[in-house]
């Protein structure tokens, strides 16, 4: 990640740990995740359910219930430490410096107020001096910018009067009202049809170029990541297992879990009769994360019991610049396995 390497990243997450207390025991939702993100870059966080990808982003937003959540580590946003920040200070930050787009815009928008009123309110929360007319103008501009036809008419409509794709555009417009430097999109296109998904992804990319914001894109879809992200963070069992540029992770993945993900998705190219290679077993419960490397019970290359079942592997840099992998296998061995056994099957060819 040579991009802006001289300046510190806009978002820096250090050894983030998020734990919840539940009746069944402590849930280690995020267990020591570190990464940095510069403005103008898109980070795709990929993982399955329970991987901790959404919890990580909610921690950045400061949206966890403090009564039952313990967050340790560091989250620095534009040089400001967010962990331990008061609720009031965090509220000032949210929407202005960091905004979020959810998977289901219908439940994230208030059903009883017009879209215009919600946009205006979002703007005036952070611009108390702005007049209503100014805020309204801003709302119109943003709706127009996200590609909603006839914005002056749509301003007076309620969320349910918009189609799924248009609603997500409204959500994006809302998140951009205050020109945030960091935008977190949690599965923004999962509920959408593929032709609409393509529109929304294009829109996000355009807006990023224009506003020069940092984007975290949380998704389970490697295809989406491969299209829009600059960097990829693969998460499993609450930990980061691989981090690198999209090219590094897509062309030369070094973690067995990443291999498994790539080999288990069918493609529009290649021989459709070739069997998919699923990862055996199920994702782990976060209450009872396997010892050592969380992936070792499902890993075909694990060295058991030592060290894979005993020690948690560190996310360490490999030879390629900026590419980090958390795996006990020696790097030459990983490269050999990937080129000999993985690369030629499925989509990775």
Partner 1 sequence: MSLSQIETETAGVDAAAAPVAPQPGMVGRSPGRLAWARLRANRTAMVSGWIMVFFVVLGLAAPLVELVYGISPFEQFQDKIANNSLPLGYLGGVSGEHWFGLEPQLGRDIFIRLVYGLRTSLFIAVSAALLTTGLGIVLGIVAGYLGGWIDAVISWVIDFALALPFLIFALAIMPTVTARFYGPRDEIPVPFRIGVMIFLFALFGWTGTARLVRGQVISLREREFVEAARASGAGLFHILFRQLLPNLWAPILVSFSLAVPGYITGEAALSFLGIGVVDPTPDFGVMINKSLSYAQTDPAYLIFPGVVIFLLVLAFNLFGDGLRDALDPKSSR
Partner 2 sequence: MTQPLLKVRGLTKHFAVRQGATGAKSAVRAVDGLDFDVHAGETLGLVGESGCGKTTTGRMLVRLLEPTAGSIEFQGRDITKLGRRAMRPLRQDLQIIFQDPYSSLNPRHTVGKIVAMPLEVNGVNPPGGVKARVQELLELVGLNPEHYNRFPHEFSGGQRQRIGIARALALRPKLIVADEPVSALDVSIQAQVVNLLRELQRELDLAFVFIAHDLAIVRHFSRRVAVMYLGKVVEIGDRADIYERPRHPYTKALLSAVPDVAAFGEPRQRIRLTGDVPTPLNPPSGCRFRTRCWKAQDVCATEEPPLLVREGSGQEVACHFPEPVGVGAEHVSEVAA
Question: Which residues contact partner 1 by CB under 8 A?
Answer: 20, 22, 24-25, 27, 29, 49-50, 54-55, 58, 61, 63-65, 91, 94-95, 99-100, 102-104, 107-110, 113, 117-118, 121-122, 125, 174-175, 186, 285-288
With CB under 5 to 8 Å by kind, the binding choice for 265 among partner 2, partner 1, none is: partner 2
Residue spans of alpha helices (H) in the chain: 53-61, 87-93, 105-108, 115-126, 132-145, 151-154, 164-176, 194-211, 222-228, 246-251, 256-264, 331-337
Query: What's the Cα-to-Cα distance from 113 to each of 6, 79, 100, 118, 201, rounded to whole Å?
Result: 46, 36, 20, 7, 27
Q: Which is nearer to partner 1, 19 or 41 (CB)?
A: 19
Q: Which residues contact 70 (CB under 8 A, 6 or more apart)?
A: 17, 18, 19, 21
**What is the binding site for partner 2 (CB under 8 A)?**
48-49, 163-166, 193-199, 201-202, 220-224, 226-227, 246-247, 250-251, 260-270, 272, 275-280, 282-283, 347-349
Q: Which is nearer to partner 2, 178 or 197 (CB)?
A: 197
State the Cα–Cα distance between residues 318 and 338, nearest whole angstrom: 15
Q: How far is the CB of 18 from partner 1 (least distance, A)?
A: 9
Q: Which residues of 4-39 are buried (b: 16+ CB within 10 A; e: fewer)?
A: eeeeebbbbbeebbbbbeeeeeebbbbbbbbbbbbb
Q: How far is the CB of 337 from partner 2 (least distance, A)?
A: 18
Q: How far is the CB of 60 from partner 1 (least distance, A)?
A: 12
Handedness of CA 73, 75, 79, 80 (dihedral sign): negative
With CB under 5 to 8 Å by kind, the binding choice for 113 among partner 2, partner 1, none is: partner 1
Q: Which is nearer to partner 1, 103 or 189 (CB)?
A: 103
Q: Which is nearer to partner 2, 34 or 267 (CB)?
A: 267
What count of other Cβ atoms lies within 10 Å of the Cβ of residue 232? 25
With CB under 5 to 8 Å by kind, the binding choice for 247 among partner 2, partner 1, none is: partner 2
Q: Which is nearer to partner 1, 23 or 194 (CB)?
A: 23
């Amino acid at each position: 990640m040579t991009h802006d390497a001289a300046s510190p990243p806009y978002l820096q997450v250090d050894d983030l740990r998020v734990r919840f207390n539940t009746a069944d025991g402590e849930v280690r939702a995020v267990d020591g995740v570190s990464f940095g993100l510069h403005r103008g870059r898109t980070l795709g966080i990929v993982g399955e359910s329970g991987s901790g990808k959404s919890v990580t982003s909610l921690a950045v937003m400061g949206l966890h219930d403090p009564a039952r959540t313990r967050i340790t580590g560091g989250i620095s946003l534009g040089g400001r430490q967010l962990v331990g920040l008061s609720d009031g200070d965090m509220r000032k930050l949210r929407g202005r410096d960091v905004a979020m787009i959810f998977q289901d815009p219908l439940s994230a928008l208030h059903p009883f107020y017009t879209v215009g009123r919600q946009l205006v309110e979002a703007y005036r929360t952070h611009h108390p001096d702005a007049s209503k007319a100014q805020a309204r103008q801003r709302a119109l501009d943003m709706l127009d910018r996200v590609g909603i036809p006839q914005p002056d008419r749509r301003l007076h409509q309620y969320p349910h009067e918009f189609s799924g794709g248009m609603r997500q555009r409204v959500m994006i417009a809302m998140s951009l009202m205050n020109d945030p430097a960091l935008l977190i999109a949690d599965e923004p296109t999962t509920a959408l049809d593929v032709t609409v998904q393509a529109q929304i992804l294009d829109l996000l990319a355009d807006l990023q170029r224009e506003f020069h914001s940092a984007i975290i894109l949380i998704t389970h879809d490697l295809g989406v990541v491969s299209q829009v992200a600059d960097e990829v963070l693969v998460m499993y069992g609450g930990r980061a297992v691989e981090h690198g540029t999209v090219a590094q992770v897509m062309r030369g993945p070094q973690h067995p879990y990443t291999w498994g993900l790539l080999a288990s998705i069918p493609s529009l190219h290649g021989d459709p009769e070739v069997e998919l290679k699923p990862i055996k077993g199920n994702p782990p419960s976060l209450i009872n994360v396997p010892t050592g490397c969380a992936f070792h019970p499902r890993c075909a290359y694990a060295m058991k019991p030592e060290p894979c079942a005993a020690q948690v592997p560190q996310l360490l840099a490999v030879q390629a610049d900026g590419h980090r992998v958390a795996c006990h296998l020696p790097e030459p061995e990983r490269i050999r396995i990937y080129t000999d056994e993985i690369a030629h099957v499925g989509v990775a060819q």
